[in-house]
A and B are shown apart, each in its own frame.
With several copies, the nearest count.
Chain A
Amino acid sequence: TDNGNEATKETGIPVTEETPVSEQDPETITVSAAASLTEAFTDMEPKFEAENPGVDVNFNFGGSGNLRKQIEGGAPADVFASADESQMDILANETLIDNSSRKDFVKNSLVLIIPANSNLNITGVKDLTDPKVKKIGIGNPDTVPVGNYTRTAMTEAGLWSQLENKVVLAEDVKQVLVYVERGEVDAGFVYMTDAMTAPETIKIVTNVSVNTPVNYPIAIVSSSEHKEDAQEFIDFVAGKEGQETLEKYGFTVLSE
């Protein structure tokens, strides 16, 4: 590849023992992944690279929407791991992903959280209708996947119309988390994975069931020049080691 040529030209010395076992310099693949995957994927990186000596993974973390827009704009990503089916759907429609490679690889769960020191007696979603509950933090259903799931869940539970005027919309999950942590809202909806990052300041009240599961899809980007390596990565994530790591960070592993 270009990189390889350049490197040899510059150094002019043959590959030394310290370089990876493969005779060539590693291929670099870029994985655009939802921000909520940051820690899990970062954790996986050395393991994957150890297993695939010819591949060097770069991650690009961000909101799924932003990542999608980047890919639309021609960003050189090889793999897209979204926290949201709809973003993946959009790319699929535009044939910007390799549809055959698309698969759901992990699941998240929606939870209701309250401040750790809350003195409101909230034990379930129904309690949110209590007039003492003044503000509820949720992600913006139009822009944030978790918000969308929240609205769906609440609508399914027949509560949405009663809660609608209590909600404070946040543009990302962290914002909901901060609001709850600081007691600015009486309750909030976040992913389990997010809730697990603040164990001391919030209390997880309950898992909220959603009919449409919170699936994380992954796929190869159509314009990728390293499709094989990209597939390797997807396989790794969906494989045993990948799934274990994901589980460690609060994700729900897809049952086969």
Chain B
Amino acid sequence: MTPMLDQIWFPISITFRIAAISSFLVLCSGVFLAYIFARRDFRGKELAELLITLPLILPPTVIGYFLVILLGKNGFIGQLIYSITGTGIMFTWQAGVIAAYTVSLPLMVRTAQAAIEAVDKELEYAAYILGKSEIETAFLITLPLAKRGILAGLVLSFARAVGEFGATLMLSGNIPGKTNTMSISIYSAFQAGNNELANVLVLVLTLMSLISIALTGKIASRGKSKV
């Protein structure tokens, strides 16, 4: 590979690995939270809803800073991780996943929650009457009917994860060949005045993102017309 290709290939693979894993995690946990928020009432629910939105409000660098405090060697969770794995999580691509997850979670929760709230409760009752438990009903009825919203949330989360930069940079650093995501590479190239590389990277990132988003949409919307 030419150095240029190498400069492109690694960031791409790491970016999409991070985005894919973080989107998957966001999908699982975000939809779960959205369901709970939509279908349960508990004390402090409104506050919890708002706190989930926080990572959108704060500058990513600041979030990154908080994450460093939490996950770093001396951080509350970081120490735990360290004592278990023997190595820290800082400066690894896994840290990038955490950063991406944190900033994109609110996108999924809010979007999916709105979609779940719009699902007709009568249909859920109909499933209960057929003996389905709440969990079965959620998977069989509620979530499929909220599919459009969840899908929108997924697209947004994925895009945000791909584009994540500030928090990732703080948490995983920019270690060429190890943690330099597309965003970071673009930023670096851009800052260094290497406009050619920056443009190529922007183009590649854009194309690849669009393709993956389009694919996600296609796969998930099979049979959509019948609903």
Residues of A within 8 A of B (CB): 2, 30, 32, 35, 38-39, 42, 58-63, 65-66, 69-70, 73-77, 90, 135, 140, 142-144, 167-175, 177-179, 182-184, 194, 197-198, 223
Chain B, 160-191, CB within 8 A of any chain A CB: 169-170, 173-179, 184, 187-188, 190-191
- Please indicate the chain A residues that have their CB under 8 angstroms from the CB of B10 in the complex: none
B91: Cβ under 8 A from any A Cβ: yes
- Whole-angstrom distance between the alpha carbons of A170 and B169 in the complex? 7
**Set A2, A60, A197, A198: member contacting B173, Cβ < 8 A:** A60
B201: Cβ under 8 A from any A Cβ: no
B78: Cβ under 8 A from any A Cβ: yes
Number of interface residues of B (CB under 8 A): 31
Q: Could you give 29 example pairs across A and B, Cβ below 8 Å? A: A32-B173, A58-B176, A58-B177, A60-B91, A66-B61, A69-B65, A69-B68, A70-B68, A70-B173, A73-B73, A73-B75, A74-B72, A74-B74, A76-B90, A142-B188, A168-B173, A168-B175, A169-B173, A170-B173, A171-B184, A171-B188, A171-B191, A178-B170, A179-B173, A182-B72, A182-B73, A182-B74, A183-B72, A183-B74
**Set A90, A142, A167, A175: member contacting B169, Cβ < 8 A:** A175
Least distance between B193 CB and chain A CB atoms (Å): 3
Chain A CB within 10 A, most for which of B61, B65, B68: B68
User: Contact at A73–B191, with CB atoms within 8 Å?
Assistant: no
Main secondary structure of the interface of A (DSSP, over half): mixed
B213: Cβ under 8 A from any A Cβ: no
A182's nearest neighbour on chain B, judged by CB, is B72
**Please, what's the 1-or-0 string for B50-75, where 1 marks a CB less than 8 Å from any CB in chain A?**
00000000000100010011001111
Least distance between B73 CB and chain A CB atoms (Å): 3
Whether A143 touches B188, Cβ cut-off 8 Å, given contacts A58-B177, A168-B173, is yes
User: Contact at A61–B174, with CB atoms within 8 Å?
Assistant: yes
User: Contact at A142–B68, with CB atoms within 8 Å?
Assistant: no
B144: Cβ under 8 A from any A Cβ: no
User: Contact at A73–B72, with CB atoms within 8 Å?
Assistant: yes
